[in-house]
Structure 1
Amino acid sequence: MTQADNAAARQGIDPAFIVILGGVSAALHVGKLPAALPALQAAMSITLVQAGFLLSLVQLAGMTLGLATGLAADGLGLRRSMLCGLLILAVAGLLGGWAQDATSLLCLRAVEGFGVLLASMPAPSLIRRLVPPQRLAAMLGLWGAYMPLGTSIALLSGPLVIGLTGWQGWWWLVAGLSFMAAVLMLRVPPDEPWSRRASHGAATQQAWPRRLKQTLSARGPWLVALSFAMYSGQWLAVVGFLPSIYAQAGVSGATTGVLTAVAAAVNIVGNIASGRLLQRGARPEALLYGGFVAMGIGAVIAYAGIGGVAAPPAMRYAAVIVFSMLGGMIPGTLFSLAVRLAPDDRTVSTTVGWMQQCSALGQFAGPPLVGWVASRAGGWEWTWVVTGTCSILGIFLARLTGRLLRSQ
């Protein structure tokens, strides 16, 4: 650690935890929408398909720019990237509270997606820079839980805030939290000075095409990236639509918020457990198998029922809990594999960027596809076909990943 890190530690501040809090703040913008969907549908007459795009458009920047951001983060600076992302989220959230129609909100959700990408993409590399090697695995395990933690906080508190202030007040509150996180990020040790960074500019400019080619020509980055897409698309679709499903069933807003928040929060258990199991020698592909099988079975019970007959409500909710909790082993494992399967140390950020890009693609495509199936079927009973297909493909990718690991 640097002298600045040690000084921060003596003051009782861990810079790595500040980075994780910044990621959680960004994740609030992903999780703020599901709780507000019933209010937005009533205020703007939003259709299910539009609701699906509102859920997924925050991933547009990650879907198109994840790899480029991974390549460019070192050029801009890791802390600078996170600061810019958090400020973009604050401004877009502030403007979003004044949106009058679905189109304006959709555009601002795309801008928020760019902010989420900038605020989260550099974090693993920044944590790696801030902590000693013996703490890296534990801190990356905590980082792997930033999205479910932020989402669950938003799902739990969103209905309460919306009930008091309306959805606009909820938007402004989350924007304010992002601004506060940006201020707190100033306590993280700064990046390399611009003058020194500029002196390395020519070498960096020559190196990035090589890193890009190394990453995209290797099997490992493709396997972890596609696996993350199979996970993220179905997780966001299932958890994101839970408030709408419960609202249609007549469940109160407060109860809906608690049920959905718990379903999102248990994902943290799987993330942390995967790190501990990997440290104890568990095979990564075995954890991936378990996660995808649990998600596939959980979605079938939650939506299709048993033998074509809908399961009791308590059993269906328990299936969603299993879906999210055991599915949480997948991202925790894939963050570890991204470091392990990157072509070399110089391509770790690029590999994480590619994984983030494919993850965003899954989150962009999953909710609208599930919403389209539900609208065509007139209910949610056939949406398990989408999530089940993702699980089957994920199991196939886990098998290929295991083969690659054994060949190394």
Structure 2
Amino acid sequence: MEPVTSRGLNPSWIIVAAGVSASLHVGKLPPAVPLLQQQLDMSLVQAGFLLSTVQVAGMLLGLVVGLGADRWGLRRSLLTGLILMALSSVLGAAATGYAWLLALRALEGLGFLLVAMPAPGLIRRAVRPSELGTRMGWWGSYMPIGSALGLLLGPWVLQASSWQVWWIALGCTSALAACAVWRMVPADEAATAAVAAKADEGWRPRLSRTLRSPGPWLVSLGFMAYSGQWMGVIGFLPTLYAEAGLGARLAGLLTAVVAACNMLGNVAAGKLLQRGWTPARCLKTGYGLMAAMALMAYVQIGGEPWAPLWLRFVAVALFSATGGLIPATLFTTAMHLAPSPATVSTTVGFMQQWSCVGQFAGPPLVAAVAMRMGGWQFTWMVTGCLCVLGWLLSQGVARCWQDRQA
């Protein structure tokens, strides 16, 4: 496929929009939890499993789906994922019990993976090499955009109608995204003939090359170090603000603003990479600023917060914004550090798998420290340790990047 840059809408924007529609399904559940508990007689633990099912699917199947996307075709995988999410969401609106809803939530998780895995490869083939960093910055923001939209729109839709309408609306959104991809993203065959020929050698050699190469491990563990702390902080913001005496709507709005701020860092990372910043510099800057902002947001002096709530909110917003430098950089870096063109989606799948590990483990770790210490004041120590890990991994990324450029 030739990059479409002179006329019309570049297909990469359709792919980013498809990612946002998929991430809406990840973020649609938190606002609906109280209604689901009431109408389906769900316990808090069952609601927690519903929330984490998407991450569990990614933890178990990220690498497998990445291998499949390389072989089946990137556009075909993207379309399958969007259709699967649309059908699962619409059918979920008819659920009358927890087990049914949980099973369909698992299918949504599989659909999400089928969307997330091939998207970076599709974007790479749709833009000029000089534009890749900038466009990957936009792709890296698909999750915060979808999460923020879900947190903002969900309460209004749920108050005006029901959770079933919310589920159907998002199912229709994914169906529309699938139609847009079908019409505006060129088919796989002509563009992927060379890659498909290499993929025909079988999944074992591609898996072996991916796991034996240091690049996929570095970007994957780096994503885990980022996603664990970001989800650990963002996930408990409504609880923290409720403890501070804020209402549920205001707490949700503030959390949505913090999540949306992450988009700023993603877009900035693309611009910085285009202007000559190395991936290691972007990563080190992101991890360093995340550590500093978390310290400002949570540290206490004499058993009391060091600053008023509004200033600590600004620090958390900056934590999210500066952290956005990391995912966009890692997506771009994965394109270059994959062992071969035939293993790009496999590498992204491996990275997504470790990202889900971080999202799954980060919130319980933050909660465990808070329970042990009797408050949130030591959250900065958890994020700081993960930032140190990320900074060290960035050193390895720098060496691999230099080897590839040599």
Give the TM interval when normalised to the shorter protein.
Answer: 0.7 to 0.9
Moved more, 374-383 or 63-72: 374-383
Alpha-carbon contact 1:52-1:371 (below 8 Å) kept:
no
For the residues of structure 1 that align with 2:196 and 2:328, how far apart are their CA atoms?
A: 34
Q: In the alignment, which residue of structure 1 is the partner of 2:93?
A: 97
Q: In the alignment, which residue of structure 1 is the partner of 2:335?
A: 339
For the residues of structure 2 that align with 1:30 and 1:405, how far apart are their CA atoms?
A: 33
Gaps of 5+ in 2: none
Q: Does residue 309 of the first structure (1) align with residue 307 of the second (2)?
A: no
Please point out which of 154, 158, 161 is paired with 2:154: 158
Matches within 5 A, 1:147-296: 147-187=143-183, 188-192=185-189, 204-296=199-291
Q: In the alignment, which residue of structure 2 is the partner of 1:85?
A: 81
Q: Secondary structure, in 3 states, of the residue corresponding to 1:191? A: coil
Q: In the alignment, which residue of structure 2 is the partner of 1:355?
A: 351
Amino acid at match of 1:192: E
Q: With the length of structure 1 as denominator, give the TM-score of the two structures.
A: 0.87
Q: Secondary structure, in 3 states, of the residue corresponding to 2:235? A: helix
Moved more, 362-371 or 268-277: 362-371
Q: In the alignment, which residue of structure 2 is the partner of 1:20?
A: 16
**Gap change, CA 1:135 and 1:279, over 3 Å in 2:** closer
For the residues of structure 2 that align with 1:343 and 1:240, how far apart are their CA atoms?
A: 35
- In the TM superposition, residue 223 of structure 1 has moved relative to its aligned partner by 0.6
Aligned length, in residue pairs? 400
- In the TM superposition, residue 383 of structure 1 has moved relative to its aligned partner by 4.1
Alpha-carbon contact 1:159-1:253 (below 8 Å) kept:
no
**Gap change, CA 1:268 and 1:307, over 3 Å in 2:** farther
For the residues of structure 2 that align with 1:319 and 1:274, how far apart are their CA atoms?
A: 19
The percentage of counterpart residues that share the same residue type is 51
For the residues of structure 2 that align with 1:101 and 1:378, how far apart are their CA atoms?
A: 36
For the residues of structure 2 that align with 1:273 and 1:200, how far apart are their CA atoms?
A: 31
- In the TM superposition, residue 243 of structure 1 has moved relative to its aligned partner by 3.0
Q: With the length of structure 2 as denominator, give the TM-score of the two structures.
A: 0.87
Amino acid at match of 1:117: L
Runs of 4+ in 1 over 6 A off after TM superposition: 199-203
For the residues of structure 1 that align with 2:181 and 2:49, how far apart are their CA atoms?
A: 31
Amino acid at match of 2:52: S
For the residues of structure 1 that align with 2:103 and 2:381, how far apart are their CA atoms?
A: 30
**Gap change, CA 1:32 and 1:334, over 3 Å in 2:** same
- In the TM superposition, residue 338 of structure 1 has moved relative to its aligned partner by 0.9
**Gap change, CA 1:302 and 1:108, over 3 Å in 2:** farther
Q: In the alignment, which residue of structure 2 is the partner of 1:398?
A: 394
Matches within 5 A, 1:77-156: 77-99=73-95, 104-156=100-152
Gaps of 5+ in 1: none
- In the TM superposition, residue 40 of structure 1 has moved relative to its aligned partner by 4.5
Q: Does residue 76 of the first structure (1) align with residue 72 of the second (2)?
A: yes
For the residues of structure 2 that align with 1:36 and 1:245, how far apart are their CA atoms?
A: 19
- In the TM superposition, residue 98 of structure 1 has moved relative to its aligned partner by 4.3
Alpha-carbon contact 1:34-1:241 (below 8 Å) kept:
no
For the residues of structure 2 that align with 1:38 and 1:378, how far apart are their CA atoms?
A: 26
